[in-house]
Amino acid sequence: MRIGSAKSPELVAVIGVGILGASVGWNLSRHGAKVVFIDAGQPGEGVTNWSFSWANASNKTARKSYFDLNVAGMAAYRELARTIGPGSWWHPSGHLRWADDPAAEAKLLKTADLLAGWDYRAEVYTGAEVRRRLEPALTVPGDVPVVFYPDEAWVHGRHLVRHLVGQAVASGAELRSGIAVCDIGAGTDGSIRTVALSDGSRLDVNVVVNAAGPSASHVAGLVARHLPMRREPGVVTRISCAQVPVRRAMHAPHIEIRPDGDASVVLHSREIDALIDTGEDPAELAHRLHELARHVVPELGTSRIAQTRVADRPIPADGFPSVGAVPSIPGYYEAVSHSGITLGPVIGRLLASEILIGTRDEILADFRPERFLP
């Protein structure tokens, strides 16, 4: 069934097949639109595969409207799991966070109080209770307060992207991977007409969705659109384990740790990210991450580093998503956000509705592309 009664676009080109592009394309396809996915790499193997992949709103309190959007993102995940089945991509096991100095601890507990006031579940335990009830492998001190967010989750982004794209292709969508977009052509009225690809082919389209992640500014430039982006690289390491010793995502002091299936764990740290531009070798950054993790989960000391990647985060200049139509370029839409894992399903649903019937949901009011002037 279509979303509403308006005529569907003839062909929608979704540029970038990470979690945002896959979610938009899947939603369009399931409501009858003709979709072509285009990615210079492989679906789900870019930034989506190299993020901490933590679905949350507890880290999104700088602006209430942004918090509300992320809460909607978490609800959209629960709905998606009911629609397509949870499978190997969905892990709603909650999230733990604690600190190791008084100032950071006070800030953590203040945030938990704020979130509770916004009807967001936050439970405070001692370290001893966490070890007894939730994560016995941790070394968290027994008297340290630990905040548990039971409604949060981690997502295996690559698995989810492949599932969504696979369903869309089975419904008639086309996937062109390993092919870059070279040009986007417009008609005399300024509206989108063509997409030229690196294999020499040209597609006749009337809608383009820019979901190109770190390359979104470049894609925007192809339609003479200025999309300012931050440069904020991050390093993520996967370590192989005979048995994964933790059950959920966590922010320990200095290190973030989460499971990544049955035989690996993902590590990230903003402190280590700060060393990227010093020229330190990524392999050394991985060893630093592994050492930090070993202090929190000693069992990880016997694991081995499997993969490490430094990736640029897709962050618009003001730190918030850019989602929706650009009125000056008919047929051009953006889906660009650092919080792509949390926001993928809700942005996919809302943007598909906007493309198909012109609905502009109020929850996106603060995140419209037109806030970035030419």
pLDDT digits (tens, 9 = 90+) for 148-172: 999 999 999 999 999 999 999 999 9
The whole-angstrom separation of Cα 185 and Cα 203 is 10
Domain 12-50+157-229+316-371 has CATH 3.40.50.300: no
User: So what's the pLDDT on residue 2?
Assistant: 39
For 266-290, the pLDDT digits (tens) are: 999 999 999 999 989 999 999 999 9
For 58-110, the pLDDT digits (tens) are: 999 999 999 999 999 999 999 999 999 999 999 999 999 999 999 999 999 99
pLDDT confidence band for 180 (50 / 70 / 90): very high
207 CB neighbour count, 10 Å cutoff? 24
User: So what's the pLDDT on residue 5?
Assistant: 38
CATH class name, domain 92-151+231-312: alpha beta
User: So what's the pLDDT on residue 8?
Assistant: 57
Instruction: Sheet with 192-197: list strands edge to edge.
Output: 181-186, 192-197, 202-204
pTM of the full structure: 0.95
Q: Is the pLDDT of residue 10 over 90?
A: no
Q: Tell me how far CA of residue 76 lies from CA of 3, 25, 305, 330, in angstroms.
A: 17, 16, 34, 28
Mean pLDDT of 110-117: 97
For 70-80, the pLDDT digits (tens) are: 999 999 999 99
Q: Is the pLDDT of residue 374 over 90?
A: no
Per-domain boundaries in the chain: 12-50+157-229+316-371, 92-151+231-312
The proportion of the chain whose per-residue pLDDT surpasses 90, expressed as a percent, equals: 96
Q: Is the pLDDT of residue 7 over 70?
A: no
